[in-house]
């Protein structure tokens, strides 16, 4: 179901000991897929997409936000929500013994995040929306209690302020270390989306590499519009498990595969994402705006800080 092994882009410094005066950090990066050596500056200019094979590298949540929303419009919420260790889970193998609580500390120090998702609100072309952006670096973007809580809060924010919700998925699935708590986040987030749906507020789901397991089988597949970046692994069961079960090597179960089978609406190149989102916001927002103004007339006279705050 979930896959934990992260495959960070292999970066190699052309000059191990950078000379003073030269920019520090890596100058080239190797494409995870086609192994092409890419110049970092060009690769970044190309939004971390391989210029040769079009491989879309994984982005951090903040890189993703910068890419998608109006400059300086993002306001992060609930940054201090963290995972805890509800089961006192200890990983015991013959090689090592590691408490989940320690792993959490380690991970959050390593990647500088409290959780595998960043939430908040922002605007795209001046239209407000609520956001939840997953970050694969934090325990493979796996969904624990805190992840589910933050995603649910992002959905509830959309509901409360009547603005569209966008969730960008990047996840190996459920977080084993939180056992059934983790599984139940699927129900929690889906239930929140059902309420959002009843309120007739649009939900956009963007699938990025990888979107698998419990995340795919809950909010990721519930979008009114579901988009995916090219070549992203999108599945319920990972290819490794399918192979074990079926004894045949499966074809790539990716964005193009699920598009072909009618499971998503469009595959969108990273450079077109912001514009695509802007169009969708334009197309779907009038209904909300109309509804909002109607409600505003109904509520006139009451002090309604929530709605005027948008």
**Interacting positions 216-275 with other proteins (CB under 8 A):** 216-222, 235-237, 241-242, 245-246, 248, 250-251, 253, 257-258, 261-263
The minimum distance between CB 43 and other proteins, in angstroms, equals 20
Q: Does 1 bind other proteins (CB under 8 A)?
A: yes
Tell which positions 15-34 bind other proteins, by CB under 8 A: none
Task: Name the residue nearer to other proteins (CB basis): 36 or 76.
Answer: 76
Q: At what angle do helices 145-161 and 179-198 cross, to 10 degrees?
A: 10
Report how far residue 191's alpha carbon sits from residue 134's, in angstroms, rounded to the nearest whole number: 19
Sole binder of other proteins in the list 39, 40, 176, 278 (CB under 8 A): 176
Phi/psi class of residue 284: alpha, beta or left (left: φ > 0; alpha: ψ in -120 to 50)? alpha
Report how far residue 116's alpha carbon sits from residue 221's, in angstroms, rounded to the nearest whole number: 19
Tell which positions 114-143 bind other proteins, by CB under 8 A: 114
The minimum distance between CB 120 and other proteins, in angstroms, equals 9
Sole binder of other proteins in the list 187, 199, 283, 306 (CB under 8 A): 187
The DSSP output letter for 25 is: S
Q: Does 91 bind other proteins (CB under 8 A)?
A: yes
Sole binder of other proteins in the list 29, 188, 224, 227 (CB under 8 A): 188
Report how far residue 138's alpha carbon sits from residue 116's, in angstroms, rounded to the nearest whole number: 5
The closest of 210, 163, 193 to 308, measured between CA atoms, is 163
Task: Name the residue nearer to other proteins (CB basis): 57 or 181.
Answer: 181
Residue 236, CA distances (Å) to 83, 103, 179, 204, 242 in order: 24, 26, 18, 19, 10
Give 138's strand partners: none
Task: Name the residue nearer to other proteins (CB basis): 50 or 253.
Answer: 253
User: What is the token pair recorded at 265?
Assistant: 């609406």
Q: Does 82 bind other proteins (CB under 8 A)?
A: yes
Q: Does 179 bind other proteins (CB under 8 A)?
A: yes
């Amino acid at each position: 179901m979930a896959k934990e092994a992260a495959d960070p882009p292999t970066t190699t410094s052309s000059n191990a000991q950078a000379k003073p005066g030269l920019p520090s950090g890596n100058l080239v990066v190797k494409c995870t897929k086609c192994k092409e050596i890419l110049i970092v500056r060009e690769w970044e200019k190309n939004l971390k997409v391989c210029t040769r094979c079009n491989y879309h590298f994984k982005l951090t949540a903040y890189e993703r936000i910068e890419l998608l929303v109006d400059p300086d419009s993002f306001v992060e919420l609930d940054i201090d929500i963290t995972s805890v260790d509800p089961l006192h889970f200890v990983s015991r193998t013959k090689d090592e013994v590691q408490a989940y609580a320690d792993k959490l500390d380690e991970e959050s120090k390593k990647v500088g995040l409290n959780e595998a998702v960043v939430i908040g609100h922002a605007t795209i072309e001046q239209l407000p929306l609520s956001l939840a952006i997953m970050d694969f670096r934090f325990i493979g973007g796996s969904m624990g209690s805190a992840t589910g809580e933050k995603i649910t809060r992002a959905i509830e924010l959309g509901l409360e302020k009547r603005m569209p919700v966008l969730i960008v998925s990047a996840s190996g699935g459920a977080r084993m270390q939180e056992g059934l708590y983790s599984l139940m986040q699927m129900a929690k987030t889906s239930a929140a989306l059902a309420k959002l749906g009843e309120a007739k507020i649009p939900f956009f789901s963007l699938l990025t590499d990888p979107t698998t397991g419990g995340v795919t089988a809950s909010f990721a597949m519930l979008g009114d519009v579901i988009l995916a970046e090219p070549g992203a692994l999108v599945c319920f069961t990972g290819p490794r498990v399918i192979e074990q079960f079926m004894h045949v090597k499966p074809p790539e179960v990716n964005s193009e595969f699920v598009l072909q089978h009618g499971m998503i609406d469009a595959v969108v190149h990273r450079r077109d994402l912001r514009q695509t989102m802007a169009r969708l916001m334009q197309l779907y927002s009038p209904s909300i705006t109309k509804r909002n103004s109607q409600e505003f007339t109904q509520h006139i006279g009451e002090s309604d800080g929530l709605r005027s705050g948008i």
